[in-house]
Structure 1
Amino acid sequence: MTGPESGAERTAGPARRAALEQAVTDEVVASFAHARTERFTELMSSLVRHLHAFARDVRLTQPEWEAAIAFLTATGQTCTDKRQEFILLSDVLGLSMQTVGINAASSQAATESTVFGPFFVEGSPRIELGGDIAEGVSGRPCYVSGRVLDDTGAPISGARVELWEADDEGFYDVQYGGDRMQARGHLFSGDGGAYRFWSVLPAPYPIPYDGPVGQLLDAANRSPMRPAHIHFMVKAPGCRTLITHIFVAGSPHLTDDAVFAVKPSLVVDFVEHPPGTAPDGRVLDGPWHEASFDLVLARTR
């Protein structure tokens, strides 16, 4: 039988284990030293260091590693041409908003950007200024107008303004199946940078929670809800593309948005009006809402 361990012997085990673990990290990092680009080396080396540090910090178990692999596999299997579960995962982990912030325009005059979201669709129908993107989707009529400006205050005519939102049940057109395109479209700003369109008053809604991301939120005891909002993507020559939302003031979940996308500057009053005549002459026989918001793009300098 051996006698009691000395202090040095008691610490040798953990110290040796830490050295072996660090050696694995160093070996993997070194394997990316001769990648085809320096940026790839930088990205992968940092990823490996942080990923290994996480595993070591929490003392990741084999069953936990297996569960993580199964979760990521299920996330990929849930993706379709109309649903991007990995974007949802990035959103609920705050990675999307972190990336938005890192890449935000330096101009303090520009409209703040926010997450892209998983429901953008290429090839939306074009509408004329003042047209209606609702295309029969359910909801109370809503008139939105404003100007597209650059960050010096100069108006931008001909900017492409892409729009999409959910109906009053909280669903996007792509969630219904088929090829319908409703509550989405694009227009071009007119004289003085003016834009205007009709749609429906947006409603709060849950992000899709019937898949792996929903399971993650349930395990975390977190809500899948988002506050009511309309998506914008605005493009103009000589300017940075703006991806943003406007949020309905007073909407539930402004303080607990599942994807952390709310910024105070993007919260807008959607004023309720009684039946009557709208600014563009449209006569409405029921209540309707109106919002005004200028979209300010940062010039590329």
Structure 2
Amino acid sequence: MSGYFSEARSAETVIDRIGAGADPRLRRIMTSLITHLHGFIKDVALTEKEWEQAIGFLTETGRMCSGTRQEFILLSDVLGASMLVDAINHRWPAPATESTVFGPFHVDGAPVRQMGESISLDGKGEPCLFRGRVLDTDGNPVAGASVDVWSDNADGFYDVQQPDIQPPFNNRGVFVTGEDGRYAFRGVKPVSYPIPSDGPVGRMLAALGRHPWRPAHMHFLIGAPGFERLITHIFVAGDSYLDSDAVFGVKDRLIVDFKPADNPTDGWLAEYDFVLVRRTQ
């Protein structure tokens, strides 16, 4: 059969060019990608102008990326791709805590703080006490768990978005559980915020009639020896964007009722127990 390109056999012709020595997993991924890409182009009868616009969009997306901004992660998030990859790779049994998107604003090297310490360095926002336990699926406390947390400030920005306004590591910290598996820290009650919308992803959302807003949430990255790493959020109950999160990250079990704290100086109280899954390999 001819190896020349034709519209009828476009995908097959490209796939046939993959070398015999290609990694099997790479072969499977690229075969599926080429098949679906060519099928998509045929399905919508893509015009040359539209293809040029797509190339321009991806080029501009790459140019927007920097050490503090990842436009491709935003693109993946708003298309639901990040959440789908997350769901496929974290099919954990109940009662394990559900995972959600990592997001583009995590920073390595956040300071390890004493249990109960505040992560709010600018003193802005409504104070909030966060506390709970890290448990295994049998309900036993997990000692030595690293609880890495981060959130926006009272104005809806992360510190890396405002390096000239917020102090470094504002609203960030790492806490390590003791034998009782408990964690506690003080911060501010998160607020809703828009994902960066001044780039190509923001313009795409506007063209689709979608808003860029995320409901208020606190990020958690929890790891412990012998357990699967957990990346998740807790969301503020009653937020107006819970049903339309721009990145599809909300899950029912992650919505938390923020209540007035017993101690008025703490402002609000958010209690949540995280359940980790033991690593099998």
Does 2:128 align with 1:149? no
- CA deviations on 1:133-158 (whole Å, 9 max, x unpaired) are 11125211100000001112111011
Hey, what does 2:238 align to over in structure 1? 250
Distance between the aligned counterparts of 1:211 and 1:66, measured in 2?
18
Distance between the aligned counterparts of 1:239 and 1:183, measured in 2?
26
Hey, what does 1:139 align to over in structure 2? 125
Q: How does 1:186-265 map to 2 (within 5 A)?
A: 186-265=174-253
Distance of aligned partners of 1:71 and 1:236 in 2 relative to their CA distance in 1, 3 Å threshold:
same
Q: Which has the larger radius of gyration?
A: 1
Code of the residue aligned with 1:198 in structure 2: it is: R
Deviation at 1:130? 0.6
Hey, what does 1:173 align to over in structure 2? 159
How big is the alpha-carbon RMSD for the aligned residues of Structure 1 and Structure 2?
1.4
**Greater shift after overlay, 91-100 or 145-154?**
145-154
Give the secondary-structure state (helix, strand or coil) at the position aligned to 1:155. Answer: coil
Hey, what does 1:292 align to over in structure 2? 271
Give the secondary-structure state (helix, strand or coil) at the position aligned to 2:260. Answer: strand
Distance between the aligned counterparts of 1:123 and 1:213, measured in 2?
28
**Greater shift after overlay, 90-99 or 34-43?**
34-43
Code of the residue aligned with 2:244 in structure 1: it is: D
Does 2:30 align with 1:51? no
Code of the residue aligned with 1:235 in structure 2: it is: G
Give the secondary-structure state (helix, strand or coil) at the position aligned to 2:191. Answer: coil
Distance between the aligned counterparts of 2:88 and 2:20, measured in 1?
27
Q: How many residues align?
A: 274
Deviation at 1:33? 4.6
Does 2:82 align with 1:96? yes
Q: Is the 8 A contact 1:144 1:197 kept in 2?
A: yes
Which sections of structure 1, spanning at least 5 residues, go unmatched? 1-18
Distance between the aligned counterparts of 1:58 and 1:125, measured in 2?
50
Hey, what does 1:70 align to over in structure 2? 56
Q: How does 1:119-134 map to 2 (within 5 A)?
A: 119-134=105-120
Hey, what does 1:164 align to over in structure 2? 150
Hey, what does 1:8 align to over in structure 2? none
Distance between the aligned counterparts of 1:117 and 1:109, measured in 2?
24
Code of the residue aligned with 2:113 in structure 1: it is: I
TM-score (structure 1 length as normaliser): 0.88
Hey, what does 2:20 align to over in structure 1? 34
Code of the residue aligned with 1:239 in structure 2: it is: F
Give the secondary-structure state (helix, strand or coil) at the position aligned to 1:198. Answer: strand
Give the secondary-structure state (helix, strand or coil) at the position aligned to 1:192. Answer: coil
Distance between the aligned counterparts of 2:191 and 2:161, measured in 1?
15
Distance between the aligned counterparts of 2:19 and 2:124, measured in 1?
56
Distance between the aligned counterparts of 2:212 and 2:267, measured in 1?
28
Deviation at 1:34? 2.4
Q: Is the 8 A contact 1:137 1:182 kept in 2?
A: no
Distance between the aligned counterparts of 1:265 and 1:22, measured in 2?
48
Give the secondary-structure state (helix, strand or coil) at the position aligned to 2:244. Answer: coil
Distance between the aligned counterparts of 1:238 and 1:171, measured in 2?
34
Hey, what does 1:9 align to over in structure 2? none
- CA deviations on 1:237-291 (whole Å, 9 max, x unpaired) are 1111000000000112000000001000000011024xxx63xxxx72xx71001
**Greater shift after overlay, 195-204 or 32-41?**
32-41
Does 2:47 align with 1:61? yes
**Greater shift after overlay, 148-157 or 253-262?**
148-157
- CA deviations on 1:31-84 (whole Å, 9 max, x unpaired) are 225253100000111000001100000000000000000000000000000110
Deviation at 1:227? 0.4
